Structure 1
């Protein structure tokens, strides 16, 4: 039995879809990424839903300047547990190990995240996803204690058609600098069986094209904001990363992905622990009177990004 549906005006759905489609198509066509067939209407999609259960990845900067070197290794496990046709528990674990420059020297950090939440179908057209994100971060030095960060994300999804869904939501986390909020708007759109657009901006966006199975090529964007305790100070890392990637399946469910990423901006700023802000919304900080102690710039840097993914289709 479905939960009580959220009633939406079909005209509003149609307006959102048309505005989103025209805006996205204009930007894509201007960059030459999309052929003319992309703009044509498509029949109902029968494409299965992809769920990445396990991800193992490694990213490394390709800059010859050792002062701009950065390494990021990570592994994640996602465990969706279906309770019934309309309710799925979500849990798992992810681990990141980051090496970057602080005060001119290499420093190593780790981040352990345990998500716990659910996805519920309110009706055939409306879905909500609520996930608490419990994090432990640490500068890998024996004299520094691990720090706990609590956060979460709420996403409401509206299905407009078999090929188009849109999301609205909110992300929150207790960073070392203070409360951090990101309003989210996103989509999952399959204009044709070969093209797919999905993501939640300004966190991530991925546009992929599958010329032949199991090959996929595409472009992606990832925006990252994370913070780590340094003792009497803390560091805030802010990255805006664009990438071109190629992926293929070595076996039915095992995906290999290689990407070349470009960091349009990549900063590691250090502040005194007593210097905090009331709240941050995306890149805007309320009552920000902090003094930057150190600012390591890795902007305009290329990264090699390799991933091994275990993906299921349902």
Structure 2
């Protein structure tokens, strides 16, 4: 073996060692029964055209979202959780307007703490920047946080309970959370609930093909710039119900999904100086706001999604 082959073998060995070290850093990240972690995802969706209330003008909604998760294990008890999520909407908020563009960039920073073999907690600081991104300022920054207690009974079942809170353009919002995960012993049937935000039920037809149904709830607020002036904000509450076909490629590391579903979209526009006292799920306290406009664009939509998933079970074995 010549010197170049020796150097090449050394490089390959070092690369493999770094990859193995990275896998074992990621391994303890999820404390529930899930045996995978989605490190990166991206999706794009578009609705069919629909008309405004009492109007013949057509509009459609385009959505884009990407998410990156970066866990870093400090030791057996503590794992740093970091990541970023970006999402956008493009739609007409008024029948006589051009398309409005609404953006949100959410950061995640916090800890996962392992208390025992079965119990753990996740505590996250969740700041975000949400508006039409015209004349960005510190007023577009909102602060939030998540506290979640998780129980893993075994490799197939786990549940969680927690609370999420965030400041919004309309005031303070609080959301209680209940989570549930189940994977059948034969690994074909899976349920993953994180209510009231999302839920997924799927079944494996083959080793690489799945069919499923999911639910996704959106809740956000965005400040609007009209004629170069900030005078209004949008409160968005949307619910997507969809069915999908999923195909895994590249040794099941990349998941490709084609979705079709029905979206209940609600975009309400309010004056910037009008707020409520507190919102808990759909309950609104001290809500004396005067709505300027409401767009209820309930439509059929198509969505394409790609996910980079790391299978933890391959390392455990």
Contact 1:138-1:146 within 8 A present in 2 as well: no
- CA offset digits 1:69-90 (Å, max 9, x no partner): 1111122211011112332111
TM-score, normalisation: structure 2: 0.80
Contact 1:209-1:216 within 8 A present in 2 as well: yes
1:267 — aligned with what?
266
Tell me by how many angstroms 1:118 deviates: 1.5
CA distance in 1, matches of 2:247, 2:259: 12
**Runs of at least 5 residues in structure 2 that lack an aligned partner in the other structure:** 1-32, 52-56, 225-229, 313-317
Q: Which has the larger radius of gyration?
A: 2
CA distance in 2, matches of 1:153, 1:204: 16
Tell me by how many angstroms 1:67 deviates: 3.1
Aligned positions of 1:130-209 closer than 5 A:
130-142=123-135, 147-192=140-185, 193-209=187-203
4+ runs deviating over 4 angstroms: 142-146
CA distance in 2, matches of 1:180, 1:100: 24
TM-score, normalisation: structure 1: 0.80
CA distance in 1, matches of 2:92, 2:139: 19
Aligned positions of 1:216-235 closer than 5 A:
216-230=210-224, 231-235=230-234
Contact 1:147-1:229 within 8 A present in 2 as well: yes
- CA offset digits 1:230-280 (Å, max 9, x no partner): 1211100111111101111121211111111211x2110011111111110
Tell me by how many angstroms 1:126 deviates: 0.4
CA distance in 2, matches of 1:86, 1:212: 37
**Runs of at least 5 residues in structure 1 that lack an aligned partner in the other structure:** 1-46
Tell me by how many angstroms 1:48 deviates: 6.7
Contact 2:89-2:101 within 8 A present in 1 as well: yes
Q: What root-mean-square deviation, in Å, do the aligned CA atoms of Structure 1 and Structure 2 show?
A: 1.8
CA distance in 2, matches of 1:221, 1:76: 18
Tell me by how many angstroms 1:97 deviates: 2.2
Tell me the number of residue pairs that the alignment of Structure 1 and Structure 2 aligns.
Answer: 266
Seen in structure 2, the aligned counterparts of structure 1 residues 238 and 165 have a Cα distance that, compared at 3 Å, is same
CA distance in 2, matches of 1:269, 1:72: 17
